[in-house]
Structure 1
Amino acid sequence: MNKRIQLTPGTPGPYKAMLALSAEVHSYAENAGLGKLTVELVKLRASQMNGCAFCLDMHSHETLKLGEDPRRIFVLDGWRETELFSDEERAALALTEEITRIGETQSVSDAVYAEATSVLTEDQYRAVAWLAVVINSFNRLAVTSHKPLPRKA
C-alpha cells in the first residue's frame, strides 16, 4: 500500500475537536442508557462498511475488552441472519447502516426509522445517530490517509 499523508498528526486542532466530540457523544450515549456493547457494535459495523482496517482493529479489541463474545464479532456483517443480537442492537445496527449509506440513499428509510424508534428511546436514537456520524468521520480520516495499524495489538 502506498504511504499517504497522515491527516491527524499535522492538524492537532481539528483532531482534538473530533476527539472532544467523540467523548461528548459517548457521554450522551451512556446517559441515554445505550449499552456499551451496542456503542462498540455501531462503530464496528460502520467501520466494516467503510473498509476502515484501523478502526476495525481498534474497536474489535475494545469490544473484546468489554467481554463481547468473539462469535458476534465474526458474524457482525451478517447480523440480520442470526439470533445473536438484541432488539436494541439490531435497531442500532440498522440505523447505523442507513446513516453510513446516506450518500447513496439520501435518507434513513421509514422502515428503519420506525423500527429504531419502536425499540430505542428518543435519546438513544439520537445517540446512535451521533455515534454513526462520528465513527463515519473517523473512518474517512483513517481510510483517506491509509492509517497504519499499530505494530502490536
Structure 2
Amino acid sequence: MTVRTALLDRTVGQAMSSLSAVAKHGLGDPALAELVMIRASQLNHCAFCLDMHLTIARKHGVSEAQLDLLAAWEEAEGVFDERERAALALTEAVTVLTDGFVPDEVYAKAAAHFDDVRLAHLVGLIVAINNWNRVMVGRRIPPGGYTP
C-alpha cells in the first residue's frame, strides 16, 4: 500500500474542511453528527475516518452500545431514537445511491425530524463525509494518523 503525503491541494482541503465544519455546526447535535459520519465511513470502508470519528464520538458522549450496534442500527430496537434512525436512514440512502435517488419515504422521515435548515446541514454533512471517505480510501491513508 502506498501512502501519499499530500492528501489534497491546500485550497481543496480547506474547502472540504469548511463544508464539514459548517454542516456539523449547523446540524446542532455533535453526537448525531458523529453517528452519521461513522455510518457513512462504515459503508465506504474508510478505516482512517472510522478511527477518527469513533474517537470524537466518545468525546461527545455517544454510548458504547450505539457505537457497537451502529452497523446494525435498523435491528437495534431501543438503542437509537426515531430522529437518529431517520438521520441514519438518510445517510445510507445518500451514501449508497444504488437506485440513483433517495427514496421519498426516507427523505420524508428525515424531514419530519429536522427543519429545512437542519435537514440541509444533515445532507451537507453526509456529502462531506462521503467526500472525505473517498479521499482517504482513494489515497490509501491508513488509520491511526488522527490526533485530536
TM-score normalised over the length of structure 2: 0.91
Stretches of structure 1 lacking an aligned partner (at least 5 in a row) = none
What root-mean-square deviation, in Å, do the aligned CA atoms of Structure 1 and Structure 2 show? 1.7
1:1-153 pair list within 5 angstroms = 2-8=1-7, 11-30=9-28, 35-82=29-76, 83-102=78-97, 104-150=98-144
Counterpart of 2:121 in structure 1: which amino acid?
A
Higher helix share: 1
Query: What is the aligned length?
Result: 146
Deviation at 1:151, TM superposition (A): 5.6
Stretches of structure 2 lacking an aligned partner (at least 5 in a row) = none
Counterpart of 1:25 in structure 2: which amino acid?
A
Deviation at 1:87, TM superposition (A): 1.2
Conservation of the 8 A alpha-carbon contact between 2:19 and 2:125: no
Counterpart of 1:125 in structure 2: which amino acid?
L
Which has the larger displacement, 44-53 or 106-115? 106-115
Q: Identity rate of aligned residues, in percent?
A: 35
TM-score normalised over the length of structure 1: 0.88
Partner Cα separation in structure 2 for residue 93 and residue 121 of structure 1: 16
Deviation at 1:4, TM superposition (A): 3.9
> What stretches of structure 1 move > 4 A for 4+ residues in a row?
none
